[in-house]
A = this chain, B = another copy of it.
Amino acid sequence: MTLIVAIDRSNTTDGRDVIEVLEKICNMVAGVKLGMPLLLKHDLNLLLNIRKICNNNIILDLKLADIGDIMVETAELFKNYADSIIAHSFIGKKDGIDKLKNFLDKNNMKLILVGSMSHMGSEEIYDKEINNIINIIKDVNPWGVVLPATRPEIIRTFRSKIGNEIKILSPGIGYQGAKPGTALCYGADYEIVGRSIMNAPDPKEATKVIIYEQKRGMYECKR
């Protein structure tokens, strides 16, 4: 499976709408990425309920970018409720990512580092440090890296330098403009799709269509 669904918010206070969508599509996706607005608005019961119906890779997209101690305190809250946590590579390793990585390793959780972002602003500073960021990622050796489908050449660059062990997860498909299959074609392992599924009148049908489009994109892909 090459699709991860992103859920950034809920329209109900108990998250029932999220659960209802996941019940329908869980068996078609490799993971569920939960955004900060959703996590701030709900308590841990939502995560428990998600786990009951979806025993996939539950990824907390907090985009942690604080000093190590604070990131560990945040991760501590979720240690029995999720599989993976996303943090930013740009904060650096020493007393930053290294502390988070140690904590996650001890608790059998996966670290996913942002390597570049899908919006235009990523080119202003983030992408200027691409070589330093690649070095930090190779040094920290996280489970995965987040790279944008909106600028897929970045995926190819990272893949050529970080090898094939580290997973590449790619957002920016759909509402943000990239076509399904694009990131896979450039070397990503997973494409992350949020609004095109969650805002669809029929999320299950939308998921099927995206998976079909991913396959077509891969078929057309000439690396």
Residue numbers of A with Cβ under 8 A of B are: 8-9, 35-37, 39-41, 43, 61-68, 70, 73-74, 76-77, 88-98, 114, 117-126, 128-129, 132-133, 136, 176
Contacts and interface: CB of A to CB of B under 8 A. Distances in A.
Copies in the complex: 2
A12 to B, nearest CB: 15
A151 B190 CA distance: 40
Contact of A9 (B43, B73, B94): B73
27 contacts: A35-B70, A36-B64, A36-B70, A37-B70, A37-B74, A37-B77, A39-B40, A63-B64, A63-B65, A63-B66, A65-B88, A65-B90, A67-B119, A68-B121, A88-B88, A91-B117, A91-B121, A91-B122, A92-B122, A92-B123, A92-B126, A93-B124, A94-B119, A96-B117, A96-B119, A96-B122, A124-B136
B40 A117 contact: no
Contacts of A41: 77
Contacts of A35: 66, 70, 73
A73 B124 contact: no
Given A67-B176, A92-B121, 16 more contacts: A36-B62, A36-B66, A65-B88, A65-B90, A67-B118, A68-B121, A90-B125, A91-B119, A92-B120, A92-B124, A93-B124, A94-B120, A94-B124, A98-B121, A124-B132, A128-B129
